[in-house]
Structure 1
Amino acid sequence: MNNIAIKEVRDLWKTVQRWKPVLAAKDYDGAFLCNSAYPGSFEDAVKAFLKAHLQGREEDPRKGLLLATYLEWKGEAFPRTLAFIKLSLNEKGSWHIKGMEISRLDRFNKTLKEVSLKPRSVIDLPSKKLALGLIMSRQQAKKTSKRHGI
């Protein structure tokens, strides 16, 4: 591995350290998957991916990363909401968010609704509550009384 690749891994790690408190403030503090593997918190998932890359088991992170997390999970029998965040290197060599997709799936993994966003930075990401509001229909978001007459 050359020094350029090691420098870019260090830059990615510094970006993770900067983004971690911002994501926590936006309530993205659950478990993540980095490139469909390496479960854990945001920091742990990226750290495990970078470790695997340095050991030669993963491809170059310069090709981009895909982070996935559940925004809503009530069990396998209920619909769930996932967020996918795509990271890539820009022309200047710094990490940025290429896009975000929020998907609402039923219990059979059929897509009920999907929203694509193009945030410019981690600060532009919607909060977890706002992201759920974007994907939920009005009837799903509205709380109904269990006693229908009241």
Structure 2
Amino acid sequence: MEPTKKYLSRRKFLSYLFTFPLAVGVVTPLALSAGVLSPPLSLKPLPPRMGVANVKDIQEKPIEFIYDGYPAILFKSGREYKAFSRVCTHLGCIVSWDEQKKQFHCPCHGGIYDAGGNVVSGPPPAPLNRLKAWVDKDVVMVQREVV
């Protein structure tokens, strides 16, 4: 008895041909959005610590600096220090600080943040990224907070 050969019909072949790319096109974005393909937080490197300025050199006026390649700003209020990234959470434009109004303004789409980095108006979906700030041996240090 001779084994029967199974042939792939043209209809079946075309079905496979179009179904596979469609499945890949649907599953890949879902997997990426679910974080399946990104490494776990335990494997990601910690953000760098950086010394911004000597405590003696800081006055009441904010200090602008570059943190991890992006502009940032440091405020002193009494003995407390606050630092924020100046990158808008909407589309990545660089926000500017308005000293008179005590708020950040995004020049791209008119987003406004208050002195705490919270969204006041406009399209930004989230507050400005806050940097942890502390004093270590008379130097104000900053580091992005790990969430």
Under a length normalisation based on structure 1, what TM-score does the superposition of the two structures give? 0.28
The structure where helix makes up a greater share of residues is 1
Under a length normalisation based on structure 2, what TM-score does the superposition of the two structures give? 0.28
Question: Larger C-alpha radius of gyration, 1 or 2?
Answer: 2
The structure where strand makes up a greater share of residues is 2
